[in-house]
Amino acid sequence: MTFRVSSFLLGLPLLLSACATAPRYQPPAVSTPTAWQNAVPADTAGSRIPSAAETRAKAPVASPRFGGQAPPVQAVAPARSATDSSGTNAPAQPQQLPQAPPETAWWTVFNDPVLAQLEEQALAQNFTARAALARVEQARARLQVADSYRTPDVTLNPSAYRTQLSGLRPVPFDVPARAITQTQYFVPVNVSYEVDVWGRIRRNIQAARADAAAAEADVQAVRLSLTADAATYYFNLRGLDAELAVLDSARLARVQNVQLTHARYQAGVDNEIGYRRAQTELATLEASLLELARQRAGVAAALATVVGQPASSFALPSKGGTELPAAPAIPPALPAALLARRPDLRRAERQLAAANARADAAHLARRPTVQLNGFIGSQSAALAKLPQLANGFTYYLGGGVAIPIFNGGRLRGNEQLAQAQYQEFEAQYRGAALTAFQDVETALANLRLSTAQLAAQQRALRAARLAGRLTNVRYRSGLTNYFEVVDADRQTLEAARALAQTQAAQLRYNVLLVRALGGSWQ
């Protein structure tokens, strides 16, 4: 009869735990645009620039409450549901965003071997990426710790002691007491096990598993950020090199102007003002060269840190010339589903799933817990008789239920804390989604408008060079003064520098679009 009762007590918690139901967690609904507002090919010829009215027409219509019309929404299942009031719900794997594709070498679209080498160095040597990998190992270790609570704790606790009872101790009968000496050797195997009746332990395992997935997504986010930063710094350097080449070419022209104005001044053809103005323009341009060299040194130092090298030993020679690599072609239509690949969104969603599981676990912690324990082992007064197991072993098997009655509000406070943390992560997840849409729209707008801007600047540079040649001919013919030459040369220099800056900016905008779309637009 005792065996049957014990079997019933052992099976009852397992029967209760089998009555659990799933918590039905799903990510919160997020508004997803059906089309990108700025994904419109620009007029590359630059013959037509969108008017202010057209630009305003493409903007969303303001609403009285939110300040903007919400884009079309794709149906997404509701957010986390609270734990069933009956408490009989078991864990299910939380639904998460679609599986992220493997990382790709997105920088190969630029066809630049130097950039490809820098990206490989950044991924292999950057210490931020190594720290992210270490966080993944930490998360996996915490998952192992959480999973260990599903199994019994088994310990071997050998002990030996010798005691003596006092001869003056009180005895129940009127019999003289004697001092008694006892020796005991005990080698028990202790077993303790908490039965996860309500699913609290499994919720904690769910949370740890979601944390591990968030850490893995964080690694992808860090690697994407590193590669994007390396490409951005690299194109910054190439843009500065192109500007330096423009200024260096202009410097040679300024030196010739100084020589020409000086010769004309010595010959009495022109006054001293033109000569001094030419010197001023030359000195100003040399100061601009030094300023660009200073900026280049700072960008090179930043790139060295990204690729994991000391800035003092890093050098990236200039390619020379004013030509920059052409920007890659962007598909005219980019599906909004690409945002699901953004690792920062996946990280935020997995953090939200972990907070959801912890909120359920905190709620279930307020319910009774069932603990089974026991021991078995050899016990003897003589060490040599310990191996005699026929009559020399002792065992105990039992269990108990711990019912929370009063703890000063600690368990309720823990539940409220977990729920507030869930609300925090939910807000962060929704905010990250909005930021993702902002990043894509900004990158697309930059690419769309900078294409027309580049075409306009090319026309401006051609016109400025023609005007400069005509002004020089007039000056040498004595038909105008040197101030017009200075003005024409300055306009040509500004147009050439603006063109180089826009070309470099276009390359950086492509990198921003790659970052915004989670690593690729394919």
Phi, psi of 17 (to 5 degrees): -70, -25
**pLDDT tens digits for range 179-231:** 788 888 888 899 999 999 999 999 999 999 999 999 999 999 999 999 999 99
Angle between helices 200-266 and 113-125 (to 10 degrees): 140
**pLDDT tens digits for range 3-37:** 344 444 445 444 444 445 445 688 887 777 777 77
Q: Which fold would CATH assign to domain 113-165+184-223+326-517?
A: Outer membrane efflux proteins (OEP) (1.20.1600)
Paired residues of 371 in beta bridges: 194, 400
Q: What is the mean pLDDT of the chain?
A: 80
Identity of the amino acid at 412: R
Kindly write down the DSSP assignment for every residue of 458-470, as one continuous string.
HHHHHHHHHHHHH
Distance CA 139, CA 207 (A): 10
Query: Residue 91 above 60 pLDDT?
Result: no
Query: Residue 88 above 60 pLDDT?
Result: no
Q: What is the pLDDT of residue 95?
A: 41
Q: What is the pLDDT of residue 41?
A: 58
Read off the pLDDT band of 332 (50, 70, 90): low
Q: What percent of the chain has pLDDT over 70?
A: 81
Which runs of consecutive H residues, i.e. helices, occur in 267-330?
272-306
Read off the pLDDT band of 326 (50, 70, 90): confident
Paired residues of 208 in beta bridges: none
Side-chain half-sphere CA neighbours of 332 within 13 A: 3
Each domain of the chain, given as residue ranges in start order, spans 113-165+184-223+326-517
Q: Are 370 and 401 in contact (CB under 8 A)?
A: yes
Q: What is the pLDDT of residue 76?
A: 33
Identity of the amino acid at 179: A
Phi, psi of 235 (to 5 degrees): -70, -30
Paired residues of 397 in beta bridges: 374
Read off the pLDDT band of 64 (50, 70, 90): very low
Query: Residue 49 above 50 pLDDT?
Result: no
31-58 in b/e form (b: 16+ CB < 10 A) is ebbeebebbeebeeebeeeeeeeeeeee
Higher pLDDT, 154 or 253: 154
Place of tokens 């904690």: 204
Model pTM score? 0.77
